[in-house]
Every structure is written in C-alpha cells, then in structure tokens.
Structure 1
Amino acid sequence: MSSSDEESLVNTMKSIFAYRNNVLIRREAEEQNGAQSSRRKRRYIRRNRVEAHNRLMKDYFVQDPKYLPEYFKRRYRMSQSLLEKIIEGILSYSTRPDEPKWFTYFQQRPNALGVLGVSIILKVASAIRQLAYGDSPDLFDEYLQISERTSRESLQNFTRCIIDLYGNVYMTEPTEDDICRLYHKYEELHGFHGMLGSIDCMHWAWEKCPNAWKGHFTRGDHGYPTIMLEAVASYDNWIWHAYFGMAGSNNDLNVLNASPLFDSLLTDTAPQIPYEIGDVDFDRGYYLADGIYPSWASFVKGFSSVVDAKRKKQSAARKDVERTFENLQGRWDEPHPLSPVGITHLQNLDINSIGAEYLDGLL
C-alpha cells in the first residue's frame, strides 16, 4: 500500500470517528434537554374566573340581560328556571353531612392563598354546554375561563348529581296508583280500557359517529348513523319506559328483544290491576303498538286505515308517543304543557341524546 493510500484511509477513518462522536454528543444533549424539560414546572394560565362569572351573569341572569331567554334556551337546551332549580337542588343537597363527593365538588372553596375557586354556575354551565353541543371540554375555556380538566370533571360530577337528585322521581316504575290513573284517563279520553300507553322506537342521529362504526349504526332508509330509542309514553308525555343505545341498523323487534320492558312480567313482579273488556277479565294492561310488533297479549296493534270514529280515537292515542319523540327533539311548534316524566330501564343514556327541552317541563 502506498503512502497516498494510507493517508486516504486514515482520513476516512477520522471522518467516521468524527461523525460518530458528533452523533453521540447530539444524543447526549437531547437526553439532557429532555431531562431538564421533564423537571420544568407546570405552566400556569392565569384565568380570570371572577370576570367570567360576572360576564355569564350579565349575559343571562340579571334583570336586564344581554341575551333574551330564547338565546339561553337555544344554547343550553333548557330554560333559565330549570337551570336555577338544578343549581338549587345541588346546593341544598350539598349541605347534608353525608353528601357524596360529586356534590361537594360544586362547593366554591378558597385555595391556600384565599382565592375562591370556580363558581357553581360556571361548572354547571360548562357541563350543560358540553351536553348540548357534544363538543370538546377545551372549547369553553375562552368564555368560561375553565380548564379542560375542570370542564371534564364538572360534566362527570354533574351527571352523578342529576341521577342522585332526580333518579328516584323520574326513573321509577309505575305504581298501582299510576296504573289506575292511566286506566281511567284513557277510558275517559278514548274509551279504551286497560291501556297503559303507546310504544314505539325512533332513530336519533349520531352526528359524530366514528368512521369505523358508521356501517354498523347506519340503516339504508336513513343514510346516516343513528342510535335507537325505545319508549313507552302516555297521554301526558309521561315516559314510563326508555331503552336507549341500540345501533341504528336494527329494527323495532331487535330493540324489543334486547330491552328489559317485560322483565317485571317474566319475574311476576308487575302490579296486577284487573279490568274488564266484553265480560272478559284481564289483570294486566296493554300497550298500543304498530304492525311490526309481535302478536302478544301486552300489545294491541293499530288499524292500518282510519275509516270510522273508533279508529280515529285509536290513531289519536297512537300519536302520544310520536308527539313525545317530537318533544324530545324540540320540534314542536308551540310549547306543550308537560307533566312529570317517569323513566324506567334507562340504560347507557347520554343526556345529550335526550333533549333538555323535554326536561324543561319536568321540574
């Protein structure tokens, strides 16, 4: 090997070692920077929660608000009076000595520096806006001055508070007195003996359905993802049974087979209130249904055509559940006087799916 070749080989080896040293030095510097960044303090954002609270009050809750009540109802899917009653219920419940932690979460307490935390109306407003629009918790940071974590915790604790406050009132099965009242009212309105209400299913559009699930939740006659709701409603829009969460690709029979509507009948725990039709005694009531439902003793199917007064009455009674579905979606033309609603067998229910306009008539 000549001297020139040896010199070239030496230069090549030097270049390789220099490159390797540079790589090692760069990696070591990156590791040090990463270790230093991991030890950095959490970035603190100074949020003016007092200003946000005052702004929210001036926008909706003062004597001369900036926005009319119609704007509030459209944006929060409920009236101001309903929101105020919910807040009053949370505050009154939180005064109990054995209150759960989700009620104490809404109590406004000072921190170590004596600065008050987020007010209850800001937390509740954040939770309801998430339910009304289905948006990310981070979206309301600019207006409500609440962090993403606080908004998420507010939503979780708010739903638990609602269940504890109103679950025993609006998620109960009909009692004997309720059944007798339904018997009497349907006989008075339509001449039907033993009727408990009308049953049907509806498809609720799922706007933010994941792409991977769209095929499972989409039915051909709709063309968009939906979630099904099975409900039994009476003349006063009182929902006695609600089963929500089935994929939109199913039909009414699939939902009926999965729902717990007749669990009390199977276990023989349903109230027995006898009545008589044509000299025949019955001990349990029935539901008015359409043609897709099976020919069970608990179902009376509606007439396919309305040609006489009797069929017109049955068609009018059948509209009870359809009107209830319209109320849930907030599509009625004029405010409808709603009675308190009892919801039984409520499974996997997202309040975003049950329009809060319907709850407006409950409290």
Structure 2
Amino acid sequence: MILTVQKNDAFGVIGLIPEQKINAALRILAYAASADQVDEITRMGKSTILESLMRFCRAIESIYTAEYLRRPIEMDLQRLLKKGEMRGFHGMIGSIDLFNDVLQGKAPKVMHWVNRHEYDRPCYLADGIYSRWSSFVKTVSRPRSAKEKHFASCQEGCKKDVERYFSIIQARWAIVRGSAIMFDLESLQSIMMTCIILQNMIVEDEYVMMPLMNISQTR
C-alpha cells in the first residue's frame, strides 16, 4: 500500500495530494467541466487545475502510448481481415479515418483476391473526398440497381462502425464534444490522445471482466 504524504510549502501551507489533481483532471475530461466548476470540489486554484490536467495527459501519453496506441500486430490484422470478409470486403482492415498508413506508404502487406485480381495491400473504406486509388473502397453515391444499392448499404454500414466508436468516445469523455476548443493545438492533441488511451483501457477491462461475469452467472 502506497501512502500519500502531504508536505508543507514555504508558507507552511499543506500541499495538494495527487488524488486531488487526478480527480480534477478526470472531471474536466469526463464532464467537460470548466476549471471554475472544479475548483470548489477539489479546493484548487484555476491555474493549478489546468496545469494538473495537462500534466495528467502528458503522463498518460508517455506511459501508455506504446501499449494502447500501438500499430496493429499480426493477430489484430487477422481479426480485422476476418471481420471484413464476413461483411463481404476481402482484404479490408478498416476505415481510412483510422488507418492512414497507406498515405505514407507504410501499409501492411495483405494478399487477397478481388475480381480475379491479386492485391498485396489492404483496402480501406473511404469517403468520396479521397483519391480514386485501388486501396480505397468508396460507396456508390447514387445507386440505381439492386446490386449497387446492396454494395452501398454494406459499405456505409461498415464505415459507420468507426463513426459510432468516435461517438462512444464523445459520450464518455464530454470534453471531446466541444469544450476542448478552448485549448491550443498541442494541448488539444494531448487531450484527444489521452481520451483515446483511457477509452482503450476501459474496453480492455470490459473484455477481461466479461468472461468472469459469465462464469458467475452460470453458477
């Protein structure tokens, strides 16, 4: 058990404990609360609250980026490819909104066949604003035939998974919905990455707890 020791400053005033600062940072991230709304609960000054928020975000990024924002490994790619194949998109590993390595020439090598042609790069679901590349699978803007309507429905349905995930992040971390615009670009990037990392932590924890809950329910 780690005990928190409060120390006195130069004026003899007892300093703040880490729990106060973390509580303030999480309240701002989760509820989009302003520093003025948090100061009465945490008994901290506005400047100290904002400083604690950014220090918390930088610490989360520094410690957990390698684990929770890593590139897809072989197991991840196989899972994504299987999911895409089940929906009728062979060689698809996701939306270009999340996987933009193809733009930098760093896309993983994935062998697959489409219309009797072999490709060695994965395909990505994309909007109409992107270039007409073979790797980008776009919807049919004005489908007419039953085949085109079915394809457009499948493509748009798959792509909405990415949009839904971002909506989940917005719902859980309210600061993403708009309050973050009050920060500068560097701080905004740190806040966004922190929210994504924390969300991935929650998802991982839910996957770990789900089998345990199923076991308890069968007893």
| Offset, 1:156 | 2.4
> How far apart in 2 are the matches of 1:325 and 1:347?
19
| Offset, 1:139 | 4.5
> How far apart in 1 are the matches of 2:187 and 2:41?
33
2:5 is equivalent to residue 109 of structure 1: yes
2:162 is equivalent to residue 321 of structure 1: yes
Q: Read off the aligned partner of 1:191 and give its amino acid letter.
A: G
* Equivalence for 1:79: none
Hey, which of these two has a bigger chunk of strand by percent?
1
Equivalence map 1:229-248=2 (5 Å): 231-232=97-98, 240=99
| Offset, 1:354 | 8.1
Q: Read off the aligned partner of 1:282 and give its amino acid letter.
A: Y
Superimposed CA distance per residue, residues 138-167 of structure 1 (whole angstroms, 9 cap, x where no aligned partner): 543322112334323321221122112320
* Equivalence for 1:246: none
Q: Read off the aligned partner of 2:118 and give its amino acid letter.
A: D
Closer, same or farther: CA 348–322 of 1 in aligned 2, 3 Å: same
| Offset, 1:284 | 0.8
| Offset, 1:318 | 2.5
* Equivalence for 1:351: 191
Q: Read off the aligned partner of 2:171 and give its amino acid letter.
A: G
Aligned length: 183
> How far apart in 1 are the matches of 2:163 and 2:110?
27
Q: RMSD over aligned Cα, in angstroms?
A: 3.6
Q: Percent identity?
A: 33
Equivalence map 1:87-126=2 (5 Å): 108-112=4-8, 117-126=15-24
> How far apart in 2 are the matches of 1:271 and 1:285?
7
2:113 is equivalent to residue 280 of structure 1: no
Secondary structure class of the residue paired with 2:154? helix
Q: Read off the aligned partner of 1:109 and give its amino acid letter.
A: V
* Equivalence for 2:181: none
> How far apart in 1 are the matches of 2:120 and 2:199?
32
* Equivalence for 1:192: 89
1:361 to 185, 200, 203: 203
Q: Is the 8 A contact 1:123 1:151 kept in 2?
A: yes
* Equivalence for 2:130: 293
Closer, same or farther: CA 261–139 of 1 in aligned 2, 3 Å: farther
Q: Is the 8 A contact 1:180 1:273 kept in 2?
A: no
Q: Is the 8 A contact 2:25 2:49 kept in 1?
A: yes
Closer, same or farther: CA 347–261 of 1 in aligned 2, 3 Å: farther
1:157 to 55, 64, 74: 55
TM-score (norm 2): 0.66
TM-score (norm 1): 0.43
Q: Is the 8 A contact 1:126 1:151 kept in 2?
A: yes
Closer, same or farther: CA 165–318 of 1 in aligned 2, 3 Å: same
Superimposed CA distance per residue, residues 89-117 of structure 1 (whole angstroms, 9 cap, x where no aligned partner): xx9xxx8xxxxxxxxxxx83332599864
Closer, same or farther: CA 159–277 of 1 in aligned 2, 3 Å: same
Q: Which shows bigger deviation, 294-303 or 316-325?
A: 316-325
Which structure would you say has the larger RCO, counting Cα contacts within 8 Å and 6 or more residues apart? 2
* Equivalence for 2:209: none
Superimposed CA distance per residue, residues 169-215 of structure 1 (whole angstroms, 9 cap, x where no aligned partner): 22222233322221122112x1211111123xxxxxxxxxxxxxxxx
Closer, same or farther: CA 170–124 of 1 in aligned 2, 3 Å: same
Q: Which runs of 5+ in 2 are unaligned?
A: 173-185, 206-219
Closer, same or farther: CA 316–148 of 1 in aligned 2, 3 Å: closer
> How far apart in 2 are the matches of 1:328 and 1:177?
24
| Offset, 1:119 | 2.8
Q: Which runs of 5+ in 1 are unaligned?
A: 1-90, 96-106, 200-230, 233-239, 242-259, 332-345
| Offset, 1:261 | 5.8
Closer, same or farther: CA 152–317 of 1 in aligned 2, 3 Å: closer
